[in-house]
């Protein structure tokens, strides 16, 4: 059985031990949410190339909206 805890998608406070609040909030502007998502990918150990690809794809999607 895994000891990992599922973190909520939306929350008002920072993660324990984090200086920066990486939680998405329902009323958050899309640009800020994208930045938090990309920061979370970097903290999660994803490759810089993966992050760059996600940034590009999300930018295309945001431009479409």
Question: Using one digit for the tens of pLDDT, what is the confidence trace for 6-61?
Answer: 666 665 555 555 556 667 888 888 888 888 888 888 888 899 999 999 999 988 98
Whole-structure pTM value: 0.59
Dihedral over alpha carbons 32, 34, 29, 60 (to 10 degrees): 130
Name which of 38, 39, 41, 36 is nearest 25 in CA terms: 36
Q: Please give the Cα distance from 30 to 54 (Å, whole number).
A: 14
């Amino acid at each position: 059985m895994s000891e990992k805890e599922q973190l909520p998608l939306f929350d008002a406070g920072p993660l324990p031990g984090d200086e920066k609040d990486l939680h998405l909030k329902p009323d958050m502007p899309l640009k800020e949410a994208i930045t938090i998502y990309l920061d979370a990918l970097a903290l999660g150990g994803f490759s810089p190339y993966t992050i760059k690809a996600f940034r590009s794809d999300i930018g295309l999607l945001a431009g479409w909206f």
